[in-house]
Amino acid sequence: MLDIKTLETWLWDGACSIRGAVDAPKFKDYILPLIFIKRISDVFEDELKRLSDKFSDEKVAYDLARKDHKLVRFFIPRSSTWPEIRKKTKNIGEELTDAIRTIAKENPKLQGVIDIADFNAKVSGQRIVDDGKLSQLIEVISRHRVGLKDAEPDILGRAYEYLLRKFAEGQGQSAGEFYTPKEVGWVMAYCLDPKQGQEVYDPACGSGGLLVKCQLALKDKEKKISKPLHLYGQEQNHVTYAMAKMNMFIHDMEGDIAIGDTLISPKFLDGSSLKKFDLVVANPMWNQDGYNTQFYEGDTFNRFDCGYPPASSADWGWVQLMFTSLSNNGRAAVVLDTGAVSRGSGNQGSNREKDIRKKFVDNDWIEAVLLLPENLFYNTTAPGIVLFLNKNKPKEKKDKIMLINASLEFEKGRPKNFIPDDKIKKIAKAFHAWRDVEKFIKIIGKDEAVKNDYNLSPSRYVGNGKEEEYQDVDEILVELAELEQERIKTDKELNGILKKIGYKGFLK
């Protein structure tokens, strides 16, 4: 059985084999489909052997699988099996692309998943990845067998995750859009504590890692799973969507992944309403702009009844979408930037985000806010928070909110910090214990949140001995953008008044 380090080295060597031919962000477009093809080809060989043993004839086994694809996980035509791919010596890019498209044609659920890369693609008449480098990549991937007895699905998935992380380390924001640090995903999954048979949804699923971790967290807890989780996700980037589908297959999980912008066009519906889920877990893009008041006013799914977020940050638009997607007893965990739980508090006048936050507090929908360590995420050094929602709190949690200051629960890493396993367990255990812990956790009443003008930043309530506190640049920019919007609105109103009393063009 391959261990994780061997797999990591193997996959990284594959990335190095095409270094220079394509930019690092594009590595995944070439490598991940091939890793996946190697996996399903090896598994197909295993399943053919099982059928051959049963019918005492390999040809009979293959013919049966060809006639009834349900006998195997995926049916691979002989010409497209990995040993045949490895034999290619001429026109490798063209032959490889054809082989993968043949597999997709035989397995409709793989269409649009593995056949998105053209290994024969050219730019200005020159091949992006020439046959020499493709041959090297194929040889690297051929080093290890990854069939049913060679590697557990979750081990291969962790290696896949490692590869994404390696790309993310050098690619800043673009990588951060599809990759949530694995330890943050584990914290969320262990705190949500999924139960067998539950439906779990991620409306901004990226590569699907948060959904996968919910299933793996259940597997860690239950010795026997008779009813696995039902996983649902939506992702707007077509390449990342394909990665999410592959991630599900690699982990041997059934996940329903849709493509599209969830705020604009949610795909999981129950008639004309949003489908409801037991759990929602997500890390949407922080402070996303591009959604104005007209967009929110035009919504037909009643998602934004608590108010319209400012155009400079859709954070509370995402939160309201997730809350609307919860069943009557549903719970959610969503990663946001720290400003989402504090912006507007302590300032005179109204603030759109604070007004929405007020309604969530007043209705007792917020269960906890967890402050993460800084420098975990690949697109920012800011710490981030996890907001936990609960549509139907148990009696002991009514009108209370848990504030967790986990900002010191990390170890230094290069280039990013990380939360070690013992700290992940510490956070999850404390979350479920629901009691105060000095310099770590404080449970406040709703009245205390009101007294602090609905500021739910854990560091405001829980000191950890670290006096230094700062406001992230992104938070400041969002606040400035919102103030600018208010200025424009006020100027417009004032201009209207001035025109009515005879002054024209007084304000620009």
What's the confidence (pLDDT) of residue 172?
Answer: 46
User: What does the domain layout of the chain look like in residue ranges?
Assistant: 4-151, 169-396+408-437
- Residue 443 confidence (pLDDT): 98
* pLDDT given for residue 168 in this prediction: 58
Cβ(286)–Cβ(336) under 8 Å?
A: yes
How many Cβ atoms sit within 10 Å of the Cβ of residue 227? 11
Inter-CA distances, 450 with 445, 453, 508, Å: 9, 5, 38
Is 186:213 a contact under the CB 8 Å cutoff? yes
Look up residue 332 and give its DSSP letter.
E
- So what's the pLDDT on residue 482? 61
Q: Is the peptide bond before 25 cis (omega within 30 degrees of 0)?
A: no
Task: Please say whether the beta carbons of 391 and 330 come within 8 A.
Answer: yes
| Phi/psi of residue 29, nearest 5 degrees | -65, -25
Q: Which amino acid is at 64?
A: L
Topology of the domain comprising 4-151: Ferritin (1.20.1260)
Is 385 in contact with 371 (CB distance < 8 Å)?
Answer: yes
pLDDT at 148 (0 to 100)? 84
The string of DSSP letters for 278-327 reads EEEEE-PPTT-----HHHHHT-SS---TT-PPPTT--HHHHHHHHHHTEE
Nearest 5°: phi and psi at 308? -100, 125
Rg of the chain (C-alpha set): 25
| Whole-number Å distance between alpha carbons of 216 and 153 | 11
DSSP letters, 157-193, are: HHHHHHHHHHHHHTTHHHHHTT---HHHHHHHHHHH-
pLDDT at 374: 93
pLDDT of residue 282: 97
Helices assigned H by DSSP within 68-123: 82-86, 92-106
Strand 400-405 and strand 385-390: the pairing is: unpaired
Residue 277: φ, ψ to 5°? -130, 155
End-to-end CA distance of the chain: give it in Å, rounded.
Answer: 71
Residue 279 tokens read as 């759990």
Helix%, strand%, coil% for the chain, nearest 5: 45, 15, 40
User: Is-same-fold flag (4-151; 169-396+408-437)?
Assistant: no
Residue 85 to residue 61: CA distance in whole angstroms: 21
Q: How far, CA to CA in Å, does 410 sit from each of 158, 183, 405?
A: 20, 10, 12
pLDDT of residue 247: 85
**Which residues lie below 8 Å from residue 19, measured CB to CB, with a gap of 6+?**
none
Instruction: Please tell me the predicted confidence (pLDDT) of residue 504.
Output: 62
Sign (positive or negative) of CA dihedral 310, 316, 321, 324: negative
pLDDT tens, per residue, the chain with 508 residues: 888 788 888 888 988 898 877 666 567 778 888 988 999 999 999 999 999 998 888 999 999 999 999 999 999 999 999 999 999 999 999 999 999 999 999 999 999 888 888 899 888 888 988 999 999 999 999 999 988 889 876 666 667 667 766 765 555 444 455 578 889 999 999 999 999 999 999 999 988 999 999 999 999 998 888 899 999 999 998 878 888 898 888 888 878 999 999 999 999 999 999 999 999 999 999 999 989 999 999 999 999 999 999 999 999 999 999 999 999 999 999 999 999 999 998 887 779 999 999 999 999 999 999 999 999 987 788 899 999 999 999 999 999 999 999 999 999 987 789 999 999 999 999 999 999 999 999 999 999 999 999 999 999 999 876 644 455 555 566 666 666 666 677 777 777 777 777 766 555 5
For 5, the token pair is 């380090």
Furthest-apart CA pair in the chain: how many Å? Answer: 98
CATH number for the segment(s) 169-396+408-437: 3.40.50.150
